[in-house]
């Protein structure tokens, strides 16, 4: 397979410059004559950036996870590829850690049929060298990781969904907590009996976590409600709330705590249960919860 493409990253000056100077601060291309794609980038404490994605190698006909550390002007300080003989890898999130290292999260797809997906995470030191590498797999289910967020203890919370191909692709949501050393602290699966999934989780102002996603409202196709759950520190549900139209396709893609002790959630909605029609749009909802 021959794919020729260069991938670039363009960072807006709004990350570092005042609004009056907004615009393109710098733009750079990274990669080879094959195929590379970046799916995530965050600023680091040294003023540079950490970026992650996937890189295809024609010699092996395989996709690798790809992580780059960039300087403040976009120059490459280091870059590494991480691969497997049995899986293709992609990066869902790269998080800077308090020890100047990084957590890398993503999905590993089983070769050759690509009919099974598991979760992997890698802890890197400040130079991009692997310190910890682990995978999480639930037998018979494919796992799709959507996001990861750092927690106050130096670890992180990871959210996603699992699909059971033997049960008409039934989907359930999951949350896992990873300790600073890279060990799995706990893993929780959530199921409302009809199907659900999570796109983002974050630490709550008190204790525990706020998690955003969706759940099936009925057996009707595309009848989905936006869903928020608040958990305790061990992932047990403290409260849960659903939001949406009577019949529609609604979901929360993210939720963050606010300074008044509440939460702000953002997502999308669609009219009449049709997520593809012209009525599809985005919505943000502020939630003040005591």
Under 8 Å CB-to-CB from 45, ≥6 apart: which residues? 96, 100
Give backbone dihedrals phi and psi of 248, rounded to 5 degrees, phi first. -175, 175
Cα(199)–Cα(160) distance, integer angstroms: 6
Residues making up the chain, counted from first to last: 290
User: Per-residue pLDDT tens for 27-58?
Assistant: 888 887 678 889 889 999 999 999 999 998 88
Beta bridge partners of 103: 95, 123
Burial of 191 (0-12, 13-18, 19+ CB in 10 A): middle
Residue 11 has pLDDT above 70, yes or no: no
Residue-level pLDDT at 22: 57
Residues 248 and 152 reside in one and the same domain: yes
Cα(42)–Cα(74) distance, integer angstroms: 12
- Cβ count near 43 (within 10 Å): 15
- Cβ count near 176 (within 10 Å): 24
Burial of 287 (0-12, 13-18, 19+ CB in 10 A): middle
Instruction: Please provide the distance, in angstroms rounded to a whole number, between the alpha carbons at the two ends of the chain.
Output: 56
Region at 261 (left for phi over 0; alpha for psi -120 to 50; beta for the rest):
left
The radius of gyration computed from the CA coordinates of the chain, to the nearest angstrom, equals 20
Residue-level pLDDT at 21: 56
Last residue of a domain, one of 75, 104, 137: 137
How is the beta sheet containing 263-269 ordered, strand by strand?
251-257, 263-269, 281-287
Residue-level pLDDT at 203: 93
Burial of 264 (0-12, 13-18, 19+ CB in 10 A): middle
Question: Mean pLDDT over residues 271-284, rounded?
Answer: 48
Residues 51 and 112 reside in one and the same domain: yes
Q: Which residues of 62-79 are buried (b: 16+ CB within 10 A; e: fewer)?
A: bbbbbbbbbeeebeeeee
Residue-level pLDDT at 175: 94
Residues 249 and 124 reside in one and the same domain: no
> How many domains does the chain contain in total?
2
User: Per-residue pLDDT tens for 197-233?
Assistant: 999 999 998 889 999 999 987 777 678 899 999 999 9
Last residue of a domain, one of 106, 137, 168: 137
Residues 145 and 47 reside in one and the same domain: no
Cα(134)–Cα(189) distance, integer angstroms: 19
Residues 182 and 165 reside in one and the same domain: yes
Residues 122 and 161 reside in one and the same domain: no
Reference 192, options 215, 218, 165; nearest CA is: 215
Residues 125 and 173 reside in one and the same domain: no
CB < 8 Å & 24+ apart, contacts of 165-173: 165/115, 166/140, 170/195, 171/195, 171/196, 171/197, 172/196, 172/197, 173/197, 173/198, 173/211, 173/213, 173/215
Residues 286 and 152 reside in one and the same domain: yes
- Cβ count near 289 (within 10 Å): 15
User: Per-residue pLDDT tens for 166-189?
Assistant: 777 788 999 999 998 888 899 999
Residues 76 and 211 reside in one and the same domain: no
Q: The domain containing residue 121 runs over which residues? A: 1-137
Element (H, E) at 221: none
Q: Which pTM value belongs to this model?
A: 0.76
230 touches 206 (CB < 8 A): no
Residues 235 and 93 reside in one and the same domain: no
Residues 279 and 166 reside in one and the same domain: yes
């Amino acid at each position: 397979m021959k794919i020729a493409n260069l991938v670039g990253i363009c960072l807006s000056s709004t990350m570092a410059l005042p609004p009056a100077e907004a615009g393109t601060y710098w733009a750079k291309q990274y990669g080879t004559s094959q195929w590379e794609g970046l799916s995530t980038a965050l600023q680091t404490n040294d003023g540079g950036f950490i970026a992650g994605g996937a890189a295809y190698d024609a010699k092996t006909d395989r996709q690798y996870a790809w992580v780059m550390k960039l300087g403040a002007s976009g120059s490459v300080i280091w870059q590494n590829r991480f691969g497997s003989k049995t899986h293709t890898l992609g990066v869902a999130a790269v998080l800077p850690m308090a020890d100047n290292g990084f957590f890398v999260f993503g999905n590993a797809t089983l070769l050759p049929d690509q009919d099974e997906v598991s979760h992997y995470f890698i802890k890197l030191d400040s130079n991009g060298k692997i310190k910890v590498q682990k995978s999480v797999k639930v037998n018979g289910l494919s796992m799709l990781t959507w996001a990861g967020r750092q927690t106050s203890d130096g670890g992180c919370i990871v959210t996603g969904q699992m699909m059971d191909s033997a049960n008409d692709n039934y989907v359930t949501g999951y949350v896992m907590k990873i300790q600073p050393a890279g060990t799995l602290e706990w893993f929780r699966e959530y199921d409302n009996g009809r199907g659900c999934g999570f796109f983002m989780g974050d630490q709550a102002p008190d204790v525990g976590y706020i998690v955003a996603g969706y759940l099936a409202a009925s057996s009707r196709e595309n009848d989905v409600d936006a869903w928020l759950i608040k958990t305790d520190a061990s992932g047990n549900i403290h409260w849960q709330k659903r939001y949406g139209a009577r019949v529609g396709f609604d979901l929360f893609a993210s939720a963050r705590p606010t300074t008044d002790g509440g939460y702000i959630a953002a997502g999308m909605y669609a009219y009449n249960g049709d997520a593809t029609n012209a009525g599809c749009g985005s919505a943000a909802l502020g939630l003040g919860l005591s």
